[in-house]
Structure 1
């Protein structure tokens, strides 16, 4: 495939590993980011603003304003071009650009025309994009573009702040007094940030761009949800709940996987099932990297399974006296992978491959899975036969909780 029509950042392996270190549950960020989304749409004067994170297979809309969108295949997105560089990416008329003119969001009923995106960059690594869209043609002034850049930087700050506070909770869950001090220290800055955001909203359309710029520059990190999180730590009314913020069990993992990946499977006409061991469904385990590992395997299976095919995910917690083990399999009825191709994929030396629905492949999903599994001290085995599908089996040892 012509690489010019298949945008992949030069640092794609590093980019995916960096995104995985944030260990993001894509369903949990909206409360922290929705005020910035509204602000971006207001600044740009557009109907729609989206905050998107892009992994090996999927563009995840972690917060949306003006459009109810959760995800789309990476190769269908406009933001895949935005993450290619340091500068913003603008499309004046999506319907006149052959890269996007046939996409679903250009036709009825959405009829989107204008796109402007800014990379969400963390230490020079683009993990996604902040974009604004509209059904009418328009251009943005340099002042508005500068404001959007500031908002994009704040989006990254909030994601990192949320991640850091979650990690801090886990590390300090048994040190109540230290937790109280931490919560006390972050309440003041967060309350000030929220107050500034409310001032901007109250001024409404009467606010001048220079005034909005001054307010936004004062915003550093945080959101209403983080303030609530600080309240939880400070009051410590439910220690058990706080201590288990970073845990899953088979039942909650099953629900999250269905919520995240049923839309992809349904769009392609694939029957996705997720089964669990009922006897151990309430045994807790650490969330760390689990969603990234299973999610990449499911996305890979969807890509290489034709319509009317099936994907079976089985989740099990093996309880042992000394160490529990999270075991799961992802089995598809897809086209299969030849052994030499599989060896190339796991070594990171394979190029892109087109899926059964003409989905573009980036060649990095399975190497990322192997990297994460190895890092967690787990094991990965793959059995595949051409024309008969592929079975992935992963075993992850669990630290005592």
Structure 2
């Protein structure tokens, strides 16, 4: 019999706040490793971690002294830290009923001491924790605790700065797109000037106005050069996009999206004995699209599918880019062979009224708001979400998101 998981009163606001940072949990270590190492030095512990906690998973985005990438939220100590305003401390994990049977306490590395400080955003939401751990019991004096709080604040500041930098990068890329449109737009007027110059040149030749003809030839020559320049800009952009478009920092393509999903969620599937696979349409494998909230949307669906699929089951993701004459749509399907949903549960999810806090097939504890968060994010991107499910026969989530025009 397991204990009920601790769930913050502001859980939905909390997970929205985390999702707004739009983080890729797989590539943040370099940005935070200096602060993580500093935290261990300040505390005098062997190990320090920076953990972010979403609806299902604790993601370790930076670690010192102990290699960790993720663990189920219900197995973490930091799930209790995000319930606190200031700090959370356990002097001996092996003597605490909440943690004494956890693998990292009973077995190697045999953790004993834990001290965590919540990572709090300006909105007052605890999105994760900075924690220090040791294999021996100890206590931190008030000076060290204050220093750790300063480090925790700096971690939050860097997360916000990272979001701002990414936003600025997006704006710069949009400026480049403006350049392309300008090049396109000047072709029409320049073409008209050249046509007019040719007409005047023809008439002037009949009147033998040599000086006028020479002046118009210069206009014609200059106009032709500008037209060639505009064509060169457009053609270079077109050739680059047709060959193998270079991804900007805020972009993904199907190949990279597949790789990230496998890296982030294969460990969860393996841990539960589930066959996890990601399929893409290779015809559109390198076409770029904005990554805005895609990892948060798809990741929550995958974690939810794994939670409600028994061992030896299947969770599959199908990714495609639907290309029409005037639009592009990203198509995401997440299917499982799990317990399925009844009609009322489907209606609750689609209306945003379901917290999906039911326990999983192996007793995984429910924290709620995973699927309502997905619905919230999809609606914010002006997309659609359909659910096909039958109790006992699995579920398919079908997401369609419009891709902004270049």
Taking structure 2 as the reference length, what is the TM-score of the superposition? 0.80
Residues of 1 paired with 2:343 and 2:81: CA distance? Answer: 35
Secondary structure of the residue aligned to 1:173 is: helix
Give secondary structure in 2 for the equivalent of 1:337. Answer: coil
Cα deviation, residue 29, structure 1: 1.3
Q: Which residue number in structure 2 is paired with residue 69 of structure 1?
A: 68
1:332-370 CA distance string (max 9 Å, x none) = 010111222233344334462110011011220000000
Give, in angstroms, the shift of residue 244 of structure 1: 1.3
Which string of whole-angstrom CA distances, capped at 9 and with x for unpartnered residues, describes residues 90-123 of structure 1? Answer: 0111111111111111122110111000000011
1:261 alignment partner in structure 2: 265
Partner of 1:187: none
Larger radius of gyration: 2
Given that 1:327 and 1:395 are in contact with CA atoms closer than 8 Å, whether structure 2 keeps it comes out as yes
Q: Where does residue 274 of structure 2 map in the other structure?
A: 270
8 Å CA contact 1:54–1:127 kept in 2: the answer is: yes
CA distance in 2, matches of 1:47, 1:156: 23
Which consecutive unaligned segments of at least 5 residues does structure 2 have?
177-239
C-alpha distance in 2 between matches for 1:104 and 1:344: 36
- The 1:84–1:391 alpha-carbon spacing in structure 2 relative to 1, beyond 3 Å, is same
In the alignment, which residue of structure 2 is the partner of 1:249? 253
1:147 correspondence with 2:147: yes
1:87 is displaced (CA, Å) by 1.4
- Where 2:106 maps in the other structure, the secondary structure is coil
Summarize the Cα distance change of 1:281–1:373 in structure 2 as closer, same or farther, 3 Å threshold: same
User: Structure 1 residues 348 and 133 mapped into 2: Cα distance closer, same or farther (>3 Å)?
Assistant: farther
Distance in 2, Cα, partners of 1:136 & 1:322: 63
Asked if the contact 2:49–2:130 (Cα under 8 Å) also holds between the matched residues in 1, the reply is yes
- 1:8 and 2:7 matched: yes
Correspondences of 1:152-301 after superposition (within 5 Å): 152-173=152-173, 175=175, 244-301=248-305
Q: Distance in 1 between matches of 2:84 and 2:359?
A: 24
Query: What's the CA shift for 1:174?
Result: 5.4
Partner of 2:222: none
CA distance in 2, matches of 1:46, 1:122: 26
Question: 1:356 matched to which residue of 2?
Answer: 361
State how far apart, in whole Å, the 1-side matches of 2:249 and 2:23 are.
13
Match of 1:306 in 2: 310
Q: Compared with structure 1, are the counterparts of its residues 173 and 243 closer, same or farther at alpha carbon in structure 2 (3 Å cutoff)?
A: farther
Q: 1:337 aligns with which of 341, 348, 353?
A: 341
**Distance in structure 2 (CA, Å) of the matches to 1:49 and 1:366:** 31
Residues 255-295 of structure 1: per-residue CA shift (max 9 Å, x gap): 00000000000001111000000111111100001110000
Aligned to 2:197: none
RMSD across aligned positions (CA): 1.8
Counterparts of 1:258 and 1:243, CA distance in 2: 19
Superposed displacement of residue 172, structure 1: 2.1
Q: Which residue of 2 aligns with 1:22?
A: 21
User: Are the equivalent residues in 1 in contact too, given 2:354–2:372 (CA < 8 A)?
Assistant: no
Select which of 372, 382, 393 maps to 1:388: 393
- Give the length in aligned residue pairs: 338
CA contact (8 A) 1:275 1:314 kept: yes
Distance 2:150 2:167 in 1: 26
Tell me if structure 2 keeps the 8 A contact 1:298–1:330: yes
1:25-104 correspondence to structure 2 within 5 Å? 25-104=24-103
Deviations 1:195-254 (A, max 9, x none): xxxxxxxxxxxxxxxxxxxxxxxxxxxxxxxxxxxxxxxxxxxx9999711110000000
Q: Is the 8 A contact 1:170 1:243 kept in 2?
A: no
| Cα pair 1:173 1:243 within 8 Å, conserved | no
**Equivalent in the alignment of 2:125:** 125
SS in 2 for 1:274: strand
Contact 2:90 2:114 in 1 (8 A): yes
- 1:106 matched to 2:105? The reply is yes
- Does the aligned pair in 2 maintain the 1:325–1:398 contact within 8 Å? yes
Contact 2:87 2:116 in 1 (8 A): yes
* Secondary structure of the corresponding residue to residue 383 of structure 1: strand
Whether the aligned pair in 2 keeps the contact of 1:348 and 1:364 (CA below 8 Å) is no
Residues 127-171 of structure 1: CA deviation (Å, up to 9, x unaligned)? 100000011000000000000000000000011111111111111
TM-score, normalisation: structure 1: 0.81
Query: Could you tell me how far apart the structure 1 residues matched to 2:106 and 2:96 are?
Result: 13
